[in-house]
Every structure is written in C-alpha cells, then in structure tokens.
C-alpha cells in the first residue's frame, strides 16, 4: 500500500512539474483552417489564367490554412527567449502546403528584451513585414493577392531562387536569416541579413533588408527595401511604401511597390504594384472590403504587360474564432500577360468558412 501511494505521489509530482514547466515556457498550439467553394471563369483551380472555367473546394481563400507552435520563457530582468514553428496546410486534402519543408512558414528562435527582438532562422522578409499592415485586403487570399505575390515576392514568377528561399518561384521567406526588430513607441524598425551559405561564394543567395513603420492616432505608415542575390550573384531589389488610416468604422489603405530583377546578363524584369482599398465595419460582426490592384511588368526584349484586379470580401463573425465569407473578383489582363490561349478577362466567386484556434 505504501509503495502504491508512493508511486501515485511521484506521478502527481511529475504531472505538476510538467504543468509548471509548460506555464513557464508558455508553449501555444495555434492554427487556422479555411475552406471555401470557388468557381472561376478564365482561371484554373490554382487561379492561373486558363481558357475555360473551374469549380473547386479551395484552402486559404480568406486566410492561409496553417498550424504552428510558439512559446516564450521569462529569463528575468525583462528578457525572454522566444521560438516559433509554423507549417502551411492544404486543408482540402490534408497535405502540407510545401512538401520539401516541415515548417515552411516559420522556424526560428530568438531573444527579446528592452533593446528589441533578435530572431534567427526561417522567417518573413522586411518587404513582407512592411506590406502586412497596409495591404487593402488585410493579407486575405494570399495566393491571389498581388501585394503578397508580386510586391512581397511570394510569387515573383522569375524562375530563379533569389535569397535562400528554398524556392525558384518566390522570396517571401528566407532560410538562414537573422532579423532584428526594435520598437520605440509607435515606431518600429527592422534590419535583416540572409546568409546564403553557398560554399565558395560569399554573397550568393544572400540578402539584406531594412524596414520601418509608424502607427499612431489611426495612421499607419510602412515601408521597406530588400536586396537578394541568386547563385550567380545576380540581384533582385524590392521596395515598398504604403499607408493606412482608420476613420471611425472605415479603414483606408494604399501601397506602392517596385522590384527589379537581373534574370540574365543584361536582362531585367521590373514589376510595379499599386493597390488601394477600404474596409467598412457595417456592424461589429459584419465587414465589407474592396480592393483594386494594378500590376505592370517590363522585361528586356519583350512588350510591357500586366493586369488589373478587383477583389471584394464580405465576412460575418459567427464567434470570436469563426467567420463565414463571400468573395468576388475580376481580373483584366493587358497585352497578353495571360498567354495567347487564355481569356483576356477572368472572374471568380467564392464562399467559405474560416476557423482559428
């Protein structure tokens, strides 16, 4: 009997110790699941230009589906140790969004104190950080939003890996990166260094960026510049500058961005994105958002082209964590940007539900 009581006591002590450790480290499991029905005319299920129509159940139409772990430990004296792991999901199939990386969205550890935050690992660039608070759509529909895809280089379409992104299609996040963030009241400053880690080529796949944002009295100003190298040490430069203003129940936002990539000797691709839009909180539970994006592309030896895109969202909050939404979009391609066999105008309509935990 005494032995049994001793074992039970040891088990209780172990459980209590585990609970205390969990509270001390502050580990949180979190995520978002977003699924919606979508019909596209002149678009594939992946929202690429197409000659016909598509019907699909899509993941991430409102908010990118993902799950992650984040935590902190109090080190005393106002200092903390931090970490975050985050992985994208295709919620319609249960597959990872990126088959080559377990945690494709974030994988970093850092320290935080009165002097700021220093993070090391895979993380977003200063361009992505700068666009987030001033995007007219509030970063909705990431795979279709030109602020994310073109301005923040998530889908730059260059077919070259710039920076240690682990991808030839985008440079929204970088591996092997060091980022410092400092906050002074309403002012936030960032500096980032991406170590390319290519043997024998010091600057290959490297990246450097700076960003700054100011928020006070309903006004937000945000901008950044970042430069990236490929394995041949050719350069991609990106810059963005935007503003947002909260006026009672209406939020106005606008942003301008430009990137210039050297794709071969003497050849460049320049892309410009201008965006503007507004969100109206009709009631505390019901929001309407509309945004327009204009994308211009200039390439050496090719005609200038681009597209204009109008996107509208209506969303209703069922609870603090769950909302339903409806979406409409219209894209007008210019000068054959979509490809000769595809429609010059594309439209889409979506409806779905998003839940966060």
Measured distance CA(24)–CA(20) in Å, rounded: 6
Helix (H, G, I), strand (E, B) or coil at 3: helix
> What mean pLDDT do residues 131-145 have?
97
Q: How far is CA 216 from CA 168, 191, 240, 266, 331, in A?
A: 38, 22, 20, 44, 35
- pLDDT bin (cut points 50, 70, 90) of residue 26 is confident
**According to the model, what pLDDT value does residue 271 have?**
98
Instruction: State pLDDT tens for residues 95-134.
Output: 999 999 999 999 999 999 999 999 999 999 999 999 999 9
Average pLDDT of the chain? 93
Which single residue is written with the structure tokens 């998003």?
354
Centroid of chain to Cα 249: 25
pLDDT band at 7 (very low <50, low <70, confident <90, very high): very low
Q: Give me the percent of the chain exceeding a pLDDT of 90.
A: 92
* Structure confidence by residue, pLDDT tens digits, 169-201: 999 999 999 999 999 999 999 999 999 999 988
Cα end-to-end span (Å), the chain: 44
CB 152 within 8 Å of CB 240: yes
pLDDT of residue 13: 46
348 exposure class (CB count in 10 Å sphere: 0-12, 13-18, 19+): buried
pLDDT of residue 23: 45
The answer to whether 329 touches 307, Cβ cutoff 8 Å, is no
Burial 106-137 (b: 16+ CB within 10 A, else e): bbbebebeeebbbbebbbbbbbbbbbbbbbbb
As given in the structure block, the two tokens for residue 328 are 């409409």
pLDDT above 70 coverage of the chain, percent: 93
């Amino acid at each position: 009997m005494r032995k049994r009581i001793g074992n039970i006591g040891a088990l209780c002590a172990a459980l209590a110790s585990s609970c205390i450790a969990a509270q001390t480290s502050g580990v949180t499991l979190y995520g978002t699941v977003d699924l919606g029905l979508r019909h596209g005319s002149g678009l594939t299920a992946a929202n690429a230009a197409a000659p016909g129509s598509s019907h699909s159940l899509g993941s991430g139409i409102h908010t990118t589906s993902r799950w992650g772990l984040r935590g902190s430990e109090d080190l005393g004296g106002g200092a903390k140790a931090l970490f975050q792991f985050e992985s994208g999901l295709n919620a319609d199939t249960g597959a990872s969004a990126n088959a080559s990386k377990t945690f494709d969205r974030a994988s970093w550890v850092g320290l935080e104190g009165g002097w700021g935050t220093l993070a090391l690992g895979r993380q977003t660039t200063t361009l992505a950080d700068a666009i987030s608070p001033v995007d007219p759509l509030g970063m909705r529909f990431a795979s279709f939003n030109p602020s994310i895809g073109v301005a923040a280089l998530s889908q730059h379409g260059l077919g070259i890996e710039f920076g240690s992104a682990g991808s030839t299609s985008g440079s929204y996040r970088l591996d092997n990166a060091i980022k410092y963030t400092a906050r002074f009241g309403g002012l936030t400053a960032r500096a980032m260094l991406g170590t390319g880690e290519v043997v024998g080529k010091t600057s290959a796949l490297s990246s450097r960026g700076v960003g700054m944002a100011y928020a006070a009295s309903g006004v937000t100003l945000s901008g950044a510049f970042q430069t990236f190298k490929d394995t041949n040490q050719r350069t991609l430069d990106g810059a963005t500058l935007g503003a947002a203003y909260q006026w009672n129940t209406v939020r106005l936002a606008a942003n301008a961005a430009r990137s210039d990539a050297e794709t071969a000797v003497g050849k460049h691709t320049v892309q410009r994105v201008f965006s503007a839009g507004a969100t109206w909180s009709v009631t505390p539970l019901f929001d309407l958002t509309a945004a327009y994006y204009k994308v211009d592309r200039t390439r050496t030896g090719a005609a200038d082209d681009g597209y204009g895109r109008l996107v509208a969202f209506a969303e209703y909050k069922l609870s603090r964590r769950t909302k339903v939404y409806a979406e409409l979009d219209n894209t007008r391609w210019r000068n054959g940007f979509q490809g000769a066999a595809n429609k010059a105008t594309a439209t889409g309509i979506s409806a779905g539900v998003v839940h966060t935990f």
